[in-house]
Amino acid sequence: MAETTITVRDNGPYIVRGEFTVVDAEGKPFEKKDVVALCRCGHSATKPFCDGAHQREGFSSAPRAGQS
Ligand code: FES
């Protein structure tokens, strides 16, 4: 099984790749995909997925591992 990775995009969403299922608070699965972009800015109209609103809203966050 391939490793699942979550990439924190600079000023944008979390990109999830690999074997995973996104479920709602009741455990119901969203449509299965190999790659999804999860909203990190809170402005998406299609939460939990990114719809590009982070660009319009000027979301700014570029964390680096090991610098917390
Ligand atoms: S991160 Fe893209 S809309 Fe929120």
Assess whether the C-beta atom of 12 lies below 6 angstroms from ligand 1: yes
Query: Cα(5) to centroid of ligand 1, in Å?
Result: 18
User: Which contacts (CB < 8 Å, 24+ apart) does range 57-61 have?
Assistant: 59/11, 59/12, 60/11, 61/10, 61/11
pLDDT score of 30 = 98
Assess whether the C-beta atom of 36 lies below 6 angstroms from ligand 1: no
Assess whether the C-beta atom of 13 lies below 6 angstroms from ligand 1: yes
The verdict on domain 1-22+34-61 having CATH code 3.40.5.90 is yes
- CA 5 to chain CA centroid, Å, is 11
Domain borders along the chain are: 1-22+34-61
Q: For the chain, which residues score pLDDT lower than 50?
A: none
pLDDT score of 67 = 79
**CA 54/CA 42 separation, integer angstroms:** 8
pLDDT score of 68 = 65
pLDDT score of 1 = 63
pLDDT score of 47 = 98
pLDDT score of 65 = 96
